[in-house]
């Protein structure tokens, strides 16, 4: 029976970097945020988003992730509305992916809002990646070329590390990537051997 590992962490914690590290070991990894971004290119989803949020979320390439983020992260109701459009579609896609990977002893689902969406309830094991907020903010500013203010508003809309840690099987501190990878290796050995 395939074990489903949920991998999560706040924005800028390094969860995707560590998810890619796990994938490099031949373990199937589903990156939910990547699938959500792909949905923003589908004409049906674009039409649904424009109907909900208006033409202002568009740019010359279609839906502007930046404009959409600015619009929803300051308004919890709008964020709920966006999640109601995107998350059922990601969940459906994940189900298909999971059934096509049933021949592996473990698979990983990486998701920023694993807890907030309730998807953690389907996981056998949960690994939460944490890092000091200052480091997280710096990583996101560098990665997304965004403002500290926008990063802080996104952090505010996610569960705190303490909330996540309380429901996690394992917690990995990612201040130093080499140490974090070593910790991930130890966890994987433990999971595979159990």
What ranges do the domains of the chain cover?
A: 3-193
- Using CB atoms within 10 Å of the CB of residue 45, give its burial: 0 to 12 exposed, 13 to 18 middle, 19+ buried: middle
* Binding site residue list for ATP: 12-17
Q: How many CA atoms lie within 13 A of 64 on its CB side?
A: 12
Distance CA 12, CA 151 (A): 9
Structure tokens at 71: 């619009």
Q: Helix, strand, or coil here: 59?
A: strand
Task: Give me the tens of pLDDT residue by residue for the chain, a chain 194 residues long.
Answer: 899 999 999 999 999 999 999 999 999 999 999 999 898 889 999 999 999 999 999 888 888 888 888 888 778 888 889 989 999 999 999 999 999 999 999 999 999 999 988 999 999 999 999 999 999 999 999 998 888 988 998 898 889 999 999 999 999 999 999 999 999 999 999 999 88
Return the sign of the alpha-carbon dihedral for residues 22, 23, 29, 34.
positive
Q: What is the model's pLDDT at position 164?
A: 97
Annotated binding site: 12-17
| Per-residue pLDDT at 64 | 87
What is the reported pLDDT for 168? 98
Instruction: Round to whole Å and give the CA distance between 156 and 49.
Output: 23
Q: CA dihedral defined by 87, 93, 96, 97, rounded to 10 degrees?
A: -100
Q: Which DSSP letter does residue 148 get?
A: H
3-193 CATH: 3.40.50.300
CA 179 – CA 194 distance, rounded (Å): 23
């Amino acid at each position: 029976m395939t074990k489903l590992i949920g991998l999560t962490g706040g924005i800028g914690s390094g969860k995707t970097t560590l998810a890619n590290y796990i994938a490099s070991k031949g373990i199937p990894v589903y990156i939910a945020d990547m699938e959500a971004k792909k949905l923003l290119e589908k004409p049906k989803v674009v039409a649904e988003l424009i109907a909900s949020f208006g033409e202002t979320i568009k740019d010359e390439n279609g839906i502007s992730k930046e404009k959409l983020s600015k619009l929803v992260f300051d308004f919890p109701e709008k964020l709920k509305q966006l999640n109601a459009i995107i998350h059922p579609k990601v969940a459906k896609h994940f189900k298909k992916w999971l059934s096509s990977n049933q021949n592996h002893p473990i698979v990983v689902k990486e998701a920023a809002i694993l807890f907030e969406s309730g998807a953690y309830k389907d996981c056998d094991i949960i690994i939460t990646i944490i890092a000091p907020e200052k480091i997280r903010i710096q990583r996101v500013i560098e990665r997304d070329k965004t403002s500290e203010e926008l990063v802080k508003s996104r952090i505010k809309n996610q569960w705190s590390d303490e909330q996540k840690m309380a429901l996690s099987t394992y917690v990995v501190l990612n201040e130093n990537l080499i140490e974090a990878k070593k910790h991930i290796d130890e966890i994987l050995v433990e999971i595979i051997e159990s």
